[in-house]
Amino acid sequence: DIQMTQSPASLSASPEEIVTITCQASQDIGNWLAWYQQKPGKSPQLLIYSTTSLADGIPSRFSGSRSGTQYSLKISRLQIEDTGIYYCLQRYSNPWTFGGGTKLELK
Amino acid sequence: EVQLVESGGGLVQPGRSLRLSCLASGFTFSNYGMNWIRQAPGKGLEWVASISSSSSYIYYADTVKGRFTISRDNAKNTLYLQMTSLRSEDTALYYCARDPMFDYWGQGVMVTVSS
Task: Indicate the Cα dihedral angle A25, A26, A28, A29, nearest 10°.
Answer: -50
Q: How far is B65 from chain A (nearest CA, A)?
A: 12
**Measured distance CA(A8)–CA(A33) in Å, rounded:** 18
- CA-closest candidate to residue B79, choices B5, B9, B15: B5
Report pLDDT digits (tens) over A59-86. 999 999 999 999 999 999 999 999 999 9
Please tell me whether residue A82 adopts helix, strand or coil conformation.
helix
Would you call B32 an interface residue with chain A, using a CB distance cutoff of 8 Å?
Answer: no
Q: What is the pLDDT of residues B23-66, one digit of tens each?
A: 999 999 999 999 999 999 999 999 999 999 999 999 999 999 99
pLDDT averaged over every residue in chain A: 97
Tell me if B45 and A95 make a contact (CB, 8 A cut-off).
Answer: no
Whether pLDDT at B100 is above 90: no
pLDDT at B115 over 90: yes
Beta strands A102-106; A10-13: pairing state: parallel
Residue B22 pLDDT exceeds 90? yes
Determine, for residues B50 and A50 on separate chains, whether the beta-carbon distance falls below 8 Å.
Answer: no
By the CB < 8 Å criterion, does B27 face chain A?
Answer: no
Chain A to chain B, count of Cβ pairs less than 8 Å apart?
A: 50
Report the C-alpha dihedral over residues B26, B30, B31, B37, rounded to 10 degrees: 80
Residue B21 β-bridge partners? B7, B80
**C-alpha distances in Å from residue B95, one per residue of A5, A66, A76, B109:** 23, 28, 29, 7
State mean pLDDT over A22-37: 98
